[in-house]
Each structure stands twice: as structure tokens, then as C-alpha cells.
Structure 1
Amino acid sequence: MEANLRHLAAYAAVARAKSFTAAAAEMHVSQSSLSRAVAELERILGATLLERDTRNVELTAAGVETLRVAEQIVSAHRSGMKELQRYLLGDSGVVAVATLPSVAAVLLPRVISDFGRQWPRVSMRIMDGLEQVVLDRVLSGDADFAISTVGSGSSQLEHRPLIRDRFRAVLPEGHRLTDQEEVTWEELAAEPFLAVGRDSSVRRLTDAAFAQAGAEAALAAEAGSVATVGGLVAAGLGVSAMPALVLPLLGTDRVVYRQLVGPVVDRRLDIVVRARRTLPPASVRFLDLLDGLRSDDRGLPSGVSWAA
């Protein structure tokens, strides 16, 4: 059948009003154009829908059923167009973000809460993982953007700095180095060192810091998660180094943090998007809100700052 939305909307208006004159006034069109649309619909369907004389318009049985179907279609179209408009304005949809676990657990909750109050129709999809997994999510299109360290980078990705967090020494309670306000990387290297796995950006940065300090860490153990490293430190099995945003994930209060110097090392976290890709409107709104928080340091842990 070749009936289109114009035919169905015109017929529904006439059938509801039982008047071409009233329906034309409601739709702000001429009565003749409505008559042509209804006549075309009857021709397409091969059925008489309205019985009319000089005064009355009555629906046939086929007209009653056609009105039911037409109203469903017109209502669905109207609802769909409203939803599309909300999406295009950024008032609905899904924000898909890939990020490191520390960002997902420490930085994003407040932003998501503020965002949800302003745009309650938008849902969040958070995919946390290690650096390369996070960046691959953006490249594959699974994520609209990422908040991550970037490593060697890629010509397929564009990034801009978001925050910096400073590395701290992570020590067991009562350790001799807790008597100092600052600990050097060289002093840390002299202790049994507890590291995260080599596929972690934290491991890459700690290895680089030891190399810059001209020291070689005495690796006591390697674990896949920072929470495990925190537990090992709390048990007195060694020391570690973590960026400030990671510290809340260590999961124990039996560890002590000290400033790390010689050198001072910051981890930079960027907003990362796929090059030459237009972000969904809701994601643009989310990133605008995130950028708007730069003037407000509330909610940032000690040792974390907005990047220039």
C-alpha cells in the first residue's frame, strides 16, 4: 500500500472531527487539500472510509478500523519525532565513556550526579579497564570518548588534558620512611617494591620514574589490581607508588602516604576522542559540564588538579 503519513494524518483529523471544515481549521490547511488526501487514501485502500452528505460525515466500518490504525501510526510518529528532537538537543540518549578504574570510581561519580540532575533522560554507560582496552573502546566506537592516560598515542585519536595526579609513596604503618615528609624514588627502590602488572599505565610510569632517578626497584611482588597491592602493603610485605587518584582504591586504612620527590612525577589524564568523529549531543553536554568544573576544586582528592 502506498498510503503515507500525510494521508493518514489528514484522514484521522477528519474522522475524529466528523467534519472537513473543522479538521481543516485544526490542521491549518485548506478544505480542498484534506478532501484530496482522504480521496487518495480511499483509492489506495480500495475502500470507502467516509459516508458524507451536505451536512454530515459518518465513518464506515472500514473507516473505523482505518482510524484506529491511522491514530496509532500518527501517534507513534509524533512520539518518535519528539524523542529524536530530545536526542538532537542532548536531552536524551546514552553517554558511553571508557575510562580507568580510578577515574570511574573517584572522579566521575560527582560529575554523573550533577549531570543526572540536569538531564535525567540521559543514561550513562561506563566501561572501565586498563589503558589500551580503554583506548580500543574509543577506536572501535563502543565508547564516545575516554578519560585515560594515552601512552604513545595514535593518529586516530585526539586528546586534550583534563587532570593531573601526583605520585605518592605508599608505605605500611610503622615503616621507617613514614618518619619523613618526603620520600625519594631512590629510597623507595631500596625497599621491597610491590608493583601492578606491566599492562597498567601506573606500572609504565613508575618504571620510568625509577629510571629517571637512576634507581632500580627491588621487585617483591606483582599484582593485577591496585587493591591487591594495597593489601600487600598493609600486610607489611613491601612499599609501592601510586598516583593520587588511585589511592582511594587501595581499600585499606593501614597504609601511609608520603610525597614522592627526586623526581616529582605527575600522571596526566586526557579526554580522548576518535579523530574526525562527531560526538553524540548528550556526550557533548557531559563534556561541557566536566569542563565547567575546572573553576571548582571541590571533590578533587589531595594531589589531584585540573590540567591546563
Structure 2
Amino acid sequence: MIQHLGGFTWARRLKVRHLESFLVLEEAGTLTRAAEQLHMTQSAMSHWLAELENIAGTTLVIRGRRLQLTPAGQLLKHLALGVLGDIARAGHEMHAVAAGRVPRLNVGSVWAGIAGGLPEAVSLFQQQYPDVAVAIHDGPFDNLLKGLETRAMDAVVGVLDARAHRPGLAHRVLFEDRVAIVMGQGSKYWQHSSTPSFGNLLHEQWIMPPSGTLTRIQMDAFLIEQGASWLRPRVETASLAMMQTLLQKGDYVGVCSDSMAAYMASLGLFRKISSDSNIRFGPITVMWNDEHATPTLMDFVGCLEHGASTLHLSVPGQEI
């Protein structure tokens, strides 16, 4: 099958050294400067370029006071950057594996985790393990948990509920969280010296998480307690960026986790609105598949616990 792929044969004659030298040539701009950097004579450099153009089957540079890449040369440069970048990344990852570490961690998190110590944990972790990449994924909790089952995720930060007690999953509680009601700079109340009460906002335009999410379930239960079960949101979104933008540009009231509300308030973007009673969200927890736990992952879990504690978040059983 491979023999029939058009344009593949020339690549068999291509060497990594060809790609490295071509990038040096493009950056140097002249054969003379490139030859000096590669510790070659100009004659040898010219011979090397002719060999490379023979392999490619086309002209790669236009000679002048400063060399310019032809369209084919631009394509070869793109190939060189990609191939050499992949080789460098593979080298770092193999070094990590040889040292007994995984080369990459995939971590899923709900909003509360991102505001509740995850960035601090990543920073601390990578001070200890600079050769381990961390990929952060946010999204609905159910989707993130499925990633643990398929091994697409190494750890997930979310709320501790029945879903977290699936067979094979282990967890540690990071902090207790609640549901917060917030407004942004687009609210007509933003400039008021006193924050409006919950009752003042019942007829405002609300932004809430989608139906079925834990935050929405807790909020709907609170509305029933307050005799406001008739309240329906004008906007439903699972995107924090969308909610933040709407709160800044329009006259809306939003709903999010208290940890996220506190973080956004510290940046001057949100103001929390007091309600008649606290709306419990639940314990924010880091979960992982116990069968696939590695020492690297457990060190990251330790960094998460430290990140949550440095933000003065409560431990289980305490009020925020």
C-alpha cells in the first residue's frame, strides 16, 4: 500500500540532517552564513543544497543577496518544523519515561476546580516535573468521567456524588463549594453602593447552566424553596467564557460555583449577590482510575491538595 502513495519515494532519501540544515539556511539568508554556522565550506554547502533540491525534484530557494524560499521551499520548511518538533517532543517524552515518569497528564475539570486551585497545582507540579506536559480539559462532569473509563483522562476534578463512586475509581476531597449568584459590569446594579437582594432580581434576565447539571439542579431546588419555581433563564450555557461575556455586556444575573465567583470577583469582573440561604454545591474532588495510577499522577494529586489549601478553601465538614 505504501509503495503506491504518490510522492512518498523521495522522502526515503531525506535525512533529519537535511531538514536541520535547511532551516539553518533559511534563517541565515545566504549560503556563506549558513556554511559558517554549519562549519562547512561554501562549496560544500552549495553541493548539499543541490543534493537536497535533487531529492525534492524542484527548486527550493531563489538565489540573490538574500535567499528566498520558493513555494516548494516553504512546504519543505513547514515539513522540517513539524518533523523536528515531533522528534524533540518524542525525545522529552522518552526521557520522562526512562526516569519513571509519564510524559503527559490529561486532566479534566469543572469550573470550580479551575478556580479552586488547579492552575496553582499545575504550576507547582511543573516546577518539580518540567518535562511532563499537562493538558487541561473542561466540560460537563459526565463527559469528563467517561474519559477516566476510556483512559483519555488521567484525573478529573469535579463534585463528589454518586457518579464518583463507580467501581475502580479513587478520589480525594479538595474543598467544599457552594452555588453563587453573580452580576457583571453590564448590570444596572453594578454601580450601586449596595448589592441588590435576591428578591430584587427575580424578574431580571438570568444566565444558568444547562438543565441536568449539578449546579442547575441545586439552583432549581433553591428556587422552589424560595417560592420562585416559575423563574426560567433567558440563557443556558455551560461555557464560562460565554457567561462572563454576557455579564459584562448585558444586564444579566448569572449562576456559577462560589469558588469561581470569588475568583472572578477578585479580578473585579463579578460581584456576588447574597441570598437568603446558602446553596450547597458539594465537595470538589479529584478522581482517578485506581488501576492506572502512576507515581507521577499521585504527585499531581498532592499538588492539587496543596493548591486548594493555599487558596484558604475549607476542608470537608467546614463552612466556606
Q: Give the TM bin, normalised by the shorter chain.
A: 0.5 to 0.7
Aligned residues: 218
What is the alpha-carbon distance in structure 2 between the residues aligned to residue 84 and residue 224 of structure 1? 36
- Structure 2 residue 155 is matched with structure 1 residue 145: yes
- Offset, 1:112: 1.1
For normalisation by structure 1, the TM-score amounts to 0.58
Q: Deviations over 1:109-144 (max 9, x none)?
A: 221111111122222122221111111111222112
- Offset, 1:234: 3.4
CA contact (8 A) 2:108 2:137 kept: yes
Q: Which has the higher strand share?
A: 1
Residue of structure 2 equivalent to 1:243: 257
Residue of structure 1 equivalent to 2:55: none
- Structure 2 residue 166 is matched with structure 1 residue 155: yes
After TM superposition, the runs of 4+ consecutive aligned structure 1 residues lying more than 4 A away are 80-85, 176-182, 252-255
Residue of structure 2 equivalent to 1:134: 144
- Structure 2 residue 160 is matched with structure 1 residue 165: no
Q: Deviations over 1:49-71 (max 9, x none)?
A: xxxxxxxxxxxxxxxxxxxxxxx
Structure 2: state its 5+ residue gaps: 1-92
What is the alpha-carbon distance in structure 1 between the residues aligned to residue 212 and residue 223 of structure 2? 17
- Offset, 1:94: 2.2
Residue of structure 2 equivalent to 1:204: 217
CA contact (8 A) 2:189 2:196 kept: no
Q: Judging changes above 3 Å, is the alpha-carbon distance between structure 1 residues 273 and 162 closer, same or farther for their aligned structure 2 residues?
A: same
What is the alpha-carbon distance in structure 1 between the residues aligned to residue 195 and residue 96 of structure 2? 57
One of 103, 122, 126 as aligned partner of 2:132: 122
Residue of structure 2 equivalent to 1:273: 288
Q: Judging changes above 3 Å, is the alpha-carbon distance between structure 1 residues 293 and 218 closer, same or farther for their aligned structure 2 residues?
A: closer
Root-mean-square deviation (Å)? 3.5
The one-letter code sitting in structure 2 at the alignment partner of 1:108 is L
Q: Judging changes above 3 Å, is the alpha-carbon distance between structure 1 residues 177 and 159 closer, same or farther for their aligned structure 2 residues?
A: farther
Residue of structure 2 equivalent to 1:74: none
What is the alpha-carbon distance in structure 2 between the residues aligned to residue 286 and residue 180 of structure 1? 42
- Offset, 1:258: 2.4
What is the alpha-carbon distance in structure 2 between the residues aligned to residue 201 and residue 249 of structure 1? 20
Aligned 1:1-308 pairs, distance under 5 A: 84=97, 86-87=99-100, 90=101, 92-104=102-114, 107-153=117-163, 154-156=165-167, 157-171=169-183, 172-175=186-189, 180=194, 183-184=197-198, 188-198=201-211, 200-216=213-229, 217-247=231-261, 248=263, 255-274=270-289, 276-293=290-307, 295-297=309-311, 304-307=313-316
Q: Deviations over 1:204-224 (max 9, x none)?
A: 332232234342224323234
Structure 1: state its 5+ residue gaps: 1-79
- Offset, 1:284: 0.9
Q: Judging changes above 3 Å, is the alpha-carbon distance between structure 1 residues 158 and 177 closer, same or farther for their aligned structure 2 residues?
A: farther
What is the alpha-carbon distance in structure 2 between the residues aligned to residue 119 and residue 278 of structure 1? 19
Q: Percent identity?
A: 18
Q: Judging changes above 3 Å, is the alpha-carbon distance between structure 1 residues 188 and 272 closer, same or farther for their aligned structure 2 residues?
A: farther
Q: Judging changes above 3 Å, is the alpha-carbon distance between structure 1 residues 289 and 246 closer, same or farther for their aligned structure 2 residues?
A: closer
CA contact (8 A) 2:174 2:315 kept: yes
The one-letter code sitting in structure 1 at the alignment partner of 2:182 is V
CA contact (8 A) 1:167 1:260 kept: no
Q: Deviations over 1:243-282 (max 9, x none)?
A: 23333569x95653223332443443111123x5240121
What is the alpha-carbon distance in structure 2 between the residues aligned to residue 235 and residue 81 of structure 1? 48
